């Protein structure tokens, strides 16, 4: 998920920027290193009654932590949150990499997602957690966002999966039943064609940065029944499923002309959400916060005019991409027990219900997922439960930052007709093979 405005939303936050200067150098060293900081220390367990104070570095996706969670946490635990700093997701990666490389303990808790859990966890910069420190009620997709190769490097703060949103009013104006979702990709294309009239486009997406290009391709790969890697992390996305998926994505823009050309410049999901809320786009595939944006007072849509359902499949019934996020503990923190108390507090039912009701994200716990109050506040939860029947992946890896850059160039070249989907993916896969060998020392 990404965002950038004052109240960013997670997918835009998935806008990974190019590594530069010290950060790039430190990560390259980490990838090749054979030792980890404080590697002799075992996984962190819950123990005793932690006290003292902690400092937290988060992205600007969630307002609820600053608005109410910190005060509730301090009152219940006696632990002081000395500082809670929020930053744009696009800026945090390099800031954190530089901090870790300097063994800086300024922040005890940092936000993470699957890619950073893998990258920073493998580098030895995140504190591994013992399984006994993990709440038993967590759903697996949430835990996946803070894990890498069997090791747990944090606890989740929310779950996020993309689903399909459509404008029922535009459907009605074009003689389309607003209550019926497309059963497959062919039906989706037919719908998008009917919804494309004049300056109005049937479909829009966010491909304007490396993370967005990667995510939009990955979604197509998954609904074609493909995989990014095999069990040994050998890249296999340039196969038949990948070529078919990218070809159909290109066709939306070049052949069917149902994709808003601005999609290639839209850099985050929050901007896509705002575009959809203006009522000029028929369909988007977006994160759950789209519901809150589309039903806000400033939106052209309402709860009654917003449709939501599964993303239509090509070779499979449906599939989606994951955007779950969490918190991790800086390996150099001086108060890890108190930091763990924060991670565990965020995962409690009370906080998670606020995440659903006030933020529009999915909860990390099974109990809240089933709560009637949660479903009433965020009806998209009903669709989310359906998505659990199908493949939902993100492939967070230590080489994700570098790979997104290389892949995005090839994807955009294919979208603009400068190269074929087959050649674009073959080139990207060659790059990926080198990165896997570099980071996994094959």
Residue 12 has pLDDT above 60, yes or no: no
Residue 15 has pLDDT above 80, yes or no: no
Residue 18 has pLDDT above 90, yes or no: no
Q: Is residue 54 part of a domain?
A: yes
Mark whether 32 and 67 lie in a shared domain: yes
Mark whether 365 and 294 lie in a shared domain: no
Domain count within the chain: 2
Mark whether 315 and 362 lie in a shared domain: no
Residue 246 has pLDDT above 90, yes or no: yes
Mark whether 208 and 292 lie in a shared domain: yes
Question: Average of pLDDT values for 84-94?
Answer: 89
DSSP strand pairing (319-321 vs 391-393):
parallel
Q: Is residue 115 part of a domain?
A: yes
Q: Name which of 33-42, 173-182, 223-232 the model is least confident about.
A: 33-42
Q: Match 């601005």 to its residue by tokens.
A: 262
Q: Is residue 245 part of a domain?
A: yes
Q: What pLDDT shows up at residue 41? A: 67
Q: Quick one: pLDDT band at residue 233, thresholds 50, 70, 90? A: very high
- Describe the strand order of the beta sheet including 53-59 as a list of residue ranges: 80-87, 53-59, 109-113, 325-329, 155-158
Q: How far apart are CA 292 and CA 361, in angstroms?
A: 9
Q: Is residue 261 part of a domain?
A: yes
Q: Quick one: pLDDT band at residue 56, thresholds 50, 70, 90? A: very high
Q: How far apart are CA 341 and CA 39, in angstroms?
A: 22
Mark whether 149 and 122 lie in a shared domain: yes
Residue 79 has pLDDT above 90, yes or no: yes
Q: Is residue 414 part of a domain?
A: no
Distance of CA 343 to the CA centre of its chain: 19
Which string of DSSP letters, residue by residue, matches 318-367?
BEEEB--EEEEEBTT-S-HHHHHHHHHHHTSHHHHHHIIIII--B-SBHH
Q: Which of 378, 393, 408 is the last residue of a domain?
A: 393
Mark whether 152 and 105 lie in a shared domain: yes
Question: Average of pLDDT values for 122-134?
Answer: 97
380-431 confidence digits (pLDDT tens): 999 999 999 999 999 999 999 899 999 999 999 999 999 999 999 999 999 9
Mean of the per-residue pLDDT values for the chain? 90
Mark whether 183 and 100 lie in a shared domain: no
Most confident of 35-39, 138-142, 342-346: 342-346
Q: Is residue 207 part of a domain?
A: yes
Q: What pLDDT shows up at residue 279? A: 96
Mark whether 290 and 328 lie in a shared domain: no
Q: Which domain holds residue 257?
A: 163-321
Q: What pLDDT shows up at residue 91? A: 85
Q: Which of 292, 321, 350 is the last residue of a domain?
A: 321
Q: Quick one: pLDDT band at residue 160, thresholds 50, 70, 90? A: very high
> For position 263, which CATH number holds?
3.40.190.10
- Do the beta carbons of residue 178 and residue 282 sit within 8 Å? no
Residue 10 has pLDDT above 70, yes or no: no
- Whose CA is closest to 420, among 305, 175, 250? 250
Residue 3 has pLDDT above 70, yes or no: no
Q: Is residue 111 part of a domain?
A: yes
Question: Average of pLDDT values for 111-135?
Answer: 96
Residue 83 has pLDDT above 90, yes or no: yes
Mark whether 294 and 274 lie in a shared domain: yes
150-159 confidence digits (pLDDT tens): 999 999 999 9
Going from the C-alpha of 270 to that of each of 13, 15, 289, 340, the distances in angstroms are: 9, 11, 9, 30
Mark whether 151 and 264 lie in a shared domain: no
Q: Is residue 329 part of a domain?
A: yes
Q: How far apart are CA 212 and CA 262, in angstroms?
A: 13
Residue 131 has pLDDT above 70, yes or no: yes
Mark whether 298 and 339 lie in a shared domain: no
Q: Quick one: pLDDT band at residue 90, thresholds 50, 70, 90? A: confident
Mark whether 64 and 154 lie in a shared domain: yes
Q: Which of 268, 295, 321 is the last residue of a domain?
A: 321
Q: What pLDDT shows up at residue 48? A: 83
Q: Quick one: pLDDT band at residue 442, thresholds 50, 70, 90? A: low
Cα 374-375-377 angle, rounded to 5 deg: 65
């Amino acid at each position: 998920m990404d965002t950038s405005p004052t109240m960013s939303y997670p997918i835009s936050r998935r806008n990974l920027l190019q590594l530069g200067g010290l950060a790039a150098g430190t990560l390259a060293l980490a990838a090749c290193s054979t030792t980890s900081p404080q590697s002799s220390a075992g996984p962190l367990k819950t123990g005793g009654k932690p006290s003292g104070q902690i400092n937290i570095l988060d992205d600007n996706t969630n307002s609820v932590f600053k608005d109410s969670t910190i005060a509730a946490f301090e009152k219940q635990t006696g632990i002081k949150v000395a500082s809670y700093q929020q930053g744009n997701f696009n800026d945090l990666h390099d800031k954190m990499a530089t901090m870790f490389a300097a063994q800086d303990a300024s922040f005890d808790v940092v936000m993470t997602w699957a890619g950073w859990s893998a990258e920073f966890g493998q580098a030895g910069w995140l504190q591994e957690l013992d399984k006994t420190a993990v709440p038993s009620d967590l759903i697996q997709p949430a835990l996946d966002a803070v894990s890498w190769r069997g090791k747990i490097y944090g606890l989740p703060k929310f779950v996020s999966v993309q689903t399909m949103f459509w404008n029922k009013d535009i459907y009605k104006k074009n003689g389309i039943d607003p209550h019926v979702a497309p059963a497959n990709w062919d039906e989706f294309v037919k719908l998008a064609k009917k919804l494309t009239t004049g300056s109005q486009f049937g479909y829009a997406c966010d491909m304007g940065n490396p993370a967005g290009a990667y995510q939009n391709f990955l979604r197509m790969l998954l609904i074609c029944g493909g995989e990014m890697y095999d069990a040994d992390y050998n890249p296999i996305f340039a196969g038949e499923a990948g070529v078919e998926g990218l070809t159909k994505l290109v066709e939306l823009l070049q052949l069917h002309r149902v994709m808003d050309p601005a999609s290639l410049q839209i850099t985050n999901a929050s901007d896509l959400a705002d575009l959809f809320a203006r009522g000029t786009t028929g369909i988007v595939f977006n994160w759950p916060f789209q519901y809150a944006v589309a039903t806000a007072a400033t939106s052209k849509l309402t709860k009654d005019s917003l449709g939501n359902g599964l993303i239509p499949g090509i070779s499979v019934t449906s599939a989606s991409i994951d955007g779950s996020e969490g918190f991790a503990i800086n390996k150099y923190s001086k108060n890890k027990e108190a930091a763990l108390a924060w991670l565990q507090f965020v995962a409690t039912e009370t906080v998670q219900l606020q995440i659903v009701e006030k933020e529009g994200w999915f909860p990390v716990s099974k109990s809240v997922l089933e709560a009637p109050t949660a479903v009433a506040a965020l009806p998209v939860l009903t669709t989310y439960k359906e998505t659990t029947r199908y493949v939902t992946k993100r492939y967070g890896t230590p080489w994700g930052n570098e790979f997104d850059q290389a892949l995005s160039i090839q994807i955009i070249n294919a979208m603009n007709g400068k190269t074929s989907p087959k050649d674009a993916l073959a080139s990207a896969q060659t790059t990926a093979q080198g990165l896997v060998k570099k980071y996994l020392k094959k």
